[in-house]
Structure 1
């Protein structure tokens, strides 16, 4: 957009966007308005639209545009215009009335808040706003909204690419807010006193106070005895409190509880909150009696938040002061609520408690908490009960099914406190007290909890045989859910059964019977896989039976995952067979997959619908599972037992690649099969190497499926140390690089094709690891390094990790003292590369760590930087100094991003680092200055 458009044109575009029935007209208007918002003219247009105040659409567009421009494009404005922008915004805000739509109020509030955060010369923003709007009842909602979103924006901007305040500015803002918090508390107190019967305004007051609690800028001296905090507890204790107000007050108290997690610094406030929360017990019971679930959930949130905040005291000084176990009693009361949604709110606390106790590992402390965990397990078991009129097996994908999954995970986490055997016996007693025919739901829930702890049951546990016997002898009319969960428990007891070989035959008969029942087939297959994995030596004699099951697999009602799991188990047992039997067993097992696959290749169309009967991925996935879990031992001097089978399998996979070459989903499955087959045979797969490479190269010229690059990395890993294979593999690399670079050099090519980046640098990494000199001497080494430097800023987790690992190992070739004859050659070649590209690499790495990557990905950058220092620390010091001098040290708002002292300290911290952890910590601390 070259010129500022007339306002009339803007109004016409807005009318077309909101009122034109023509879809094409709406899209055209939307695109044009988007271009306007991105242009520098949007500032003036938005200001003029707000001044005109013509209609809702134009005012909302203007307010939203102003907020977006301030948040993302503040750098467009010269510092001399900041004050006039602020004055204009505040003038617009002065015209707000009770009739002003809330969406416009919110956008204007956000605009003012973002301006206050970025405009370093606006020193008394909060005080100015209170003085200007605090005494005007019409502007009070706007003032409260600004004071609410201001702290929220501070929290939201951390890690955001839009509003980057930096650590220095954030510290300055937090300091200013802390100093002005007494004025804010005074304002909120006056508001609450003057508006005791205005629930909407009270909501805003509590939301505002909670927002300030969230960033810990309220002094406990100012808030402990304030009427506004007491008002929040009062609201929560009134039984006819409106739901929205109740939720706002609950959020406020939860935020206050979060803010006192450092109990030593906030003891007085923590004690006041503790006393206040204890007064809510009766209100909780009233909400339960009145079946007011929303309020019950609010109380439970408060109880859980208090317990989490006081967890250090609960563990260090149990039953005393803030460690009073009333907190645990409140959570167990909530866990006993009839709705599982209420109980689930407490899970976070139990997770944290178990983690702390696990790390302490003190039996005397565990003993104190044991009765509470036992009560919790009883409550969880009750919540896991299916409805008595439930039909069929448990639906694990439903909300309730997912809840049961979370119960299972929580039980596994906390079980060490009471002991797996104790829990198992506790559930066993529940089973003994019930009959499957009359209380099937209670029995099923007990079996479900048993399954959660079964893996930790010792081989000496006495009650397991009785439980297994009861499951194996379930009557035919037992509820199918009980049978289903019994099968799952059998699978979880696989390690226990491995120590009791006499039970294997009846267990297998039980699972075979389950396979033949549609509802139980998948669970039976999964349990059978577990038995195969744990009882390998005993299952060898049952391999023929497993083959028969695999052949008849499609006559069972198995999910695809269960079928693949069954094949995994069968392949695991095949590995245990004598050398001379492996080849025939594999041939039979693969034939069950190859026959239908060959039929599809002969009859099917090149284009298939996912999941249709013509989809070959079903058979490809099964073949991949077989080879992945097959690892036979090969006697010295003997051919690999799977070689002949590979000769039969590879042509089929090659034909599938050719036929379905345009379908990346199918080609990926083919490559996956070949990958596991090659991993299984190792260098014994050499017969397929040349035809495989030729086909991959040819197909990649037409279809840039990154799976070919990944498969290429497998070939280099297996054959890269064989000097006779290296030239051919390097030719493969060069053939891949031409189309790959073309794809990545497109507009946003790196971002649009992260899989290509990931797999290309996995391939290059394998060359560095297996044939470094040959790789460094090839003509592609320099362009690959340049591509890696460009890809450093890609924030895709896997792709970036592959790039960084490639760079790290590449440089490590010149520093690793591995005593190989070619060490000096490697070092010379890498030094030559870095003479031309070292400065660019350091510039890219530092800017990537500071401006592009989330914090959790910075450690990979640190690995590369540390390797560079090990190679040539003096030269790296120069590169880093030049890079630091080029960084912007002042924001567009006039605030200092990084001081000279901070730059110097960072340079010293990195260049004097003795290990990579020191580099990583320095990078993370430095990056915060710009975020």
Structure 2
């Protein structure tokens, strides 16, 4: 028992041991494996301890002790475990021993499969001999149960272990080091027949469901592992493919879906050019590729038929629980992926024909009859939609018939929902195919019906309308009157459409992209018409006076502001948008003035302004000044972070424009000065992480786009101080923005453009260097979550690269603060060596181990973490060393 407990300590992480000590302990144990195995072998004679002996032996094998395969193959403990496996009294300990031996044969430390083949050849036959016991009526019920567990996929089973061994053997046969397939054919010819003998069990109704699952998993694993061999299309490999087709045909989805990964991997192997490199020239490659694709057409055609029915709604779909409905949706997604794989092999047109025939069959029993079963037609359309990306944009054979059938289907809500999504999925076909344009009127009629039928169908119809307008925009320029009619009905809420405010944005975007295709003069007029039904409700509220603007609920404003934002975003006519925002500025200003306290409204308004700035660019010069003046004044009163991100977009567009330098300088100094007064302690950062995030995003953008304005300004040192205070904020986005700003500061001198600012940067950073280093190392060692390690490491290395030898002094002074009870001198020296290499210009990206190890050491338990953080005190900008 003591030997078992001893070995278990090697794998336990409950004890707070240093990584180096844990590695040393494992080495000590491995060096004692010979003695341990001798003691355990001697104990085999004590029958009452046999179970404990085998359990202990399994744990020692888990150490991967490097015992030669030939030694293990004849070792008494191994032979005893094998004999116990096939004895009348099946023991759990013997199962554990064999399991660990199988894992041992695949471990790199044991030499890999080639070195362990004698042991593998001993283990596999012993396990396979148990198959016949499952049907032996003379076997004790408990023994049968134990053997059945070995083959159960989800239990503590030998089926999984056998599959693992076979899988590793298959990998071995295909490895270059083993000589490749031709050299390993004898082993392959031994393995495949043994597995193939289980095929009949898949359809045996007398088989227990768990056994069938285990056997199906074995075939699926074999397929995944043998995919390269199977892809050759040999007669033997097609036997495996047929077995996997049998698994895919199983009525239980959980069993059939086990093969889905194989079909995907096979598709990748058959279609990717790298699979054929060995065939040399392009002619040979294409010939072999065509040969293989031809061979696998039949299995994939069968697969399409076998899986497509699984997306059909169950009869009791209305009574499905939330969890069951979620599972059903996941099933549909998975089947859709399989159909995409099939279309990659067969081609979109062939796959479409198979699915179209299913649609025709379903439609034949479901035409304008409210009592018909709509579910088969919906399922067929779902599958047709799934493969849309693989169907030719100019298909003239099947797609026109599909589109023709859509108008004949009843307007059942779920069916209409899928019809609308299918129309949207084939919007590119509607644009490119010879008969696509003629189908547009009928499909738009269907979409209008979808908008009126149910909320789900309305959402699908709105999205499809967006896709059609996007892809057919040039063809639809002459149909603006009809499109505007649909648009007005949707945004006014008076047309009987069941479209939500969010989905109405799809129609806004749809009209916007069509207007983009118009000539500038026409686009300006169309833009005015597009804005009119959106602006009118806002103007009505403003006309009622300031009190009305202040009292109205935010949503009554943001619905319309968001629509304007999308118009400015998607109408790609810079001058027209600049003119529109100039005309609408009085409305925007009124909302700014009277709702500046309302974060939700301000975010929507600033987002709309951001899109206007982004689209209009320099054409917005007439309005940008008053806009910046507005947000500069309001930020001082209301501290809305969206004012900062709007300013960030302005900096991107106008930052390098000398004519804007004065008012940008005024804006930035006002925003940053006020922000640094808001964020004076870590608690301020924690309570307003949004302000911190947007502030330092803006600061980083200033470094990139207007360093001439930003770096020499008096707010630059204040922002560095502010960043030092807030580095340890736990909010992920705000923390990342702060660290990115600091690394941008340290990297300023890396470009020729930034060279002129090095002296200014140095005057700010060098006096703070020791504190910056201490805070960053404190962040590495526990002040921030380990998930932030990469960005903290990059920032620290940026500091090291920028200041070389001087930075090493800061690092050494910081590391000295950590007590030796937390980090030893050896561990400190490894970290310092890594920092020294970084300072000398060596690329440390491949040598971050010492940094990660220091982080792990200082986080190994709460006590150590508190000692380290107590020593480094990251929340204090300046500390006096304790003598």
TM-score computed with the length of structure 1 as normaliser: 0.69
> Could you tell me how far apart the structure 2 residues matched to 1:671 and 1:236 are?
73
SS of corresponding position for 1:920:
coil
Q: Does 1:306 align with 2:247?
A: no
Q: CA deviation at 1:765?
A: 0.8
1:38-94 Cα offsets, whole Å, 9 max, x none, are xxxxxxxxxxxxx9xxxxxxxxxxx9xx99995463359xx9xx9xxxxxxxxxxxx
Aligned to 1:522: 459
Q: Does 1:286 align with 2:201?
A: yes
| Match among 66, 70, 73 for residue 16 of structure 2 | 73
Conservation of the 8 A alpha-carbon contact between 1:600 and 1:616: no
Higher helix share: 2
Structure 1: 5+ residue stretches without partners: 1-50, 52-62, 83-114, 153-172
Q: CA deviation at 1:779?
A: 4.0
Aligned to 1:426: 354
> Could you tell me how far apart the structure 2 residues matched to 1:619 and 1:204 are?
66
How many pairs are equivalent?
782
> Could you tell me how far apart the structure 2 residues matched to 1:339 and 1:735 are?
64
Return closer, same or farther for 1:628/1:228 CA change in 2, 3 Å cut-off: same
Aligned to 1:532: 469
Return closer, same or farther for 1:895/1:815 CA change in 2, 3 Å cut-off: closer
| Match among 662, 671, 675 for residue 736 of structure 1 | 675
> Could you tell me how far apart the structure 1 residues matched to 2:711 and 2:702 are?
9
Aligned to 1:378: 305
Conservation of the 8 A alpha-carbon contact between 1:600 and 1:614: no
> Could you tell me how far apart the structure 1 residues matched to 2:739 and 2:528 are?
44
Aligned to 2:421: 488
> Could you tell me how far apart the structure 2 residues matched to 1:600 and 1:205 are?
83
Return closer, same or farther for 1:565/1:230 CA change in 2, 3 Å cut-off: farther
Return closer, same or farther for 1:407/1:730 CA change in 2, 3 Å cut-off: farther
> Could you tell me how far apart the structure 1 residues matched to 2:537 and 2:48 are?
75
Q: CA deviation at 1:640?
A: 1.9
> Could you tell me how far apart the structure 1 residues matched to 2:392 and 2:569 are?
31
Equivalent positions of 1:578-589 (< 5 A) are 578-589=522-533
Aligned to 1:158: none
The more displaced of 851-860 and 124-133 is: 851-860
Equivalent positions of 1:372-771 (< 5 A) are 372-387=299-314, 398-412=326-340, 415-432=343-360, 435-437=363-365, 441-476=375-410, 480-499=413-432, 500-518=436-454, 520-540=457-477, 541-542=479-480, 543-553=483-493, 555-558=496-499, 562-577=503-518, 578-591=522-535, 594=538, 622=563, 624-634=565-575, 640-652=579-591, 655-658=594-597, 660-661=598-599, 671-682=606-617, 683-684=620-621, 685-686=623-624, 687-700=626-639, 707=642, 709-721=644-656, 722-725=660-663, 726-743=665-682, 758-771=693-706
Q: CA deviation at 1:298?
A: 2.7
1:4-47 Cα offsets, whole Å, 9 max, x none, are xxxxxxxxxxxxxxxxxxxxxxxxxxxxxxxxxxxxxxxxxxxx
Aligned to 1:191: 81
Aligned to 1:827: 758
Return closer, same or farther for 1:667/1:397 CA change in 2, 3 Å cut-off: farther
Q: CA deviation at 1:327?
A: 3.8
Aligned to 1:248: 156
> Could you tell me how far apart the structure 1 residues matched to 2:415 and 2:715 are?
62
Q: CA deviation at 1:409?
A: 3.6
Q: CA deviation at 1:732?
A: 0.3
The more displaced of 882-891 and 335-344 is: 882-891
> Could you tell me how far apart the structure 1 residues matched to 2:535 and 2:361 are?
51
> Could you tell me how far apart the structure 1 residues matched to 2:269 and 2:850 are?
27
Conservation of the 8 A alpha-carbon contact between 1:720 and 1:771: yes
Aligned to 2:867: none
Return closer, same or farther for 1:756/1:191 CA change in 2, 3 Å cut-off: farther
Q: CA deviation at 1:434?
A: 5.1
Conservation of the 8 A alpha-carbon contact between 2:358 and 2:380: yes
Conservation of the 8 A alpha-carbon contact between 1:656 and 1:670: no
SS of corresponding position for 2:573:
coil
> Could you tell me how far apart the structure 2 residues matched to 1:771 and 1:302 are?
62
| Match among 93, 109, 119 for residue 223 of structure 1 | 119
> Could you tell me how far apart the structure 1 residues matched to 2:638 and 2:50 are?
67
> Could you tell me how far apart the structure 1 residues matched to 2:32 and 2:684 are?
46
Conservation of the 8 A alpha-carbon contact between 1:420 and 1:453: yes
> Could you tell me how far apart the structure 2 residues matched to 1:187 and 1:580 are?
87
Q: CA deviation at 1:378?
A: 2.9
Q: CA deviation at 1:423?
A: 1.9
Aligned to 1:234: 130
Return closer, same or farther for 1:639/1:628 CA change in 2, 3 Å cut-off: closer
Conservation of the 8 A alpha-carbon contact between 1:583 and 1:645: no
TM-score computed with the length of structure 2 as normaliser: 0.72
Conservation of the 8 A alpha-carbon contact between 1:858 and 1:920: no
The more displaced of 648-657 and 784-793 is: 784-793
Return closer, same or farther for 1:778/1:224 CA change in 2, 3 Å cut-off: same
Bigger relative CO (Cα 8 Å, ≥ 6 apart): 1
> Could you tell me how far apart the structure 2 residues matched to 1:431 and 1:728 are?
62
Conservation of the 8 A alpha-carbon contact between 1:858 and 1:923: no
Q: CA deviation at 1:463?
A: 2.1
Q: CA deviation at 1:723?
A: 0.8
> Could you tell me how far apart the structure 2 residues matched to 1:307 and 1:856 are?
40
> Could you tell me how far apart the structure 1 residues matched to 2:27 and 2:822 are?
9
Conservation of the 8 A alpha-carbon contact between 1:862 and 1:923: no
Conservation of the 8 A alpha-carbon contact between 2:428 and 2:471: yes
Conservation of the 8 A alpha-carbon contact between 1:149 and 1:211: no
1:768-803 Cα offsets, whole Å, 9 max, x none, are 122213322234434544665787788987556545
Structure 2: 5+ residue stretches without partners: 136-143, 275-284, 367-372, 857-883
Conservation of the 8 A alpha-carbon contact between 2:54 and 2:94: no
The more displaced of 891-900 and 707-716 is: 891-900
Return closer, same or farther for 1:603/1:650 CA change in 2, 3 Å cut-off: closer
Return closer, same or farther for 1:208/1:587 CA change in 2, 3 Å cut-off: same
Q: CA deviation at 1:735?
A: 1.3
> Could you tell me how far apart the structure 1 residues matched to 2:750 and 2:206 are?
72
Q: CA deviation at 1:251?
A: 3.4
Return closer, same or farther for 1:487/1:737 CA change in 2, 3 Å cut-off: same
Conservation of the 8 A alpha-carbon contact between 2:216 and 2:247: yes
1:329-383 Cα offsets, whole Å, 9 max, x none, are 3332222222232232223333334444454265433641442433333333233
Q: CA deviation at 1:417?
A: 2.9
> Could you tell me how far apart the structure 1 residues matched to 2:385 and 2:679 are?
49
> Could you tell me how far apart the structure 1 residues matched to 2:70 and 2:588 are?
74
Conservation of the 8 A alpha-carbon contact between 2:431 and 2:437: yes
1:259-286 Cα offsets, whole Å, 9 max, x none, are 5546425789998698556534454543
> Could you tell me how far apart the structure 2 residues matched to 1:618 and 1:72 are?
57
The more displaced of 841-850 and 530-539 is: 841-850
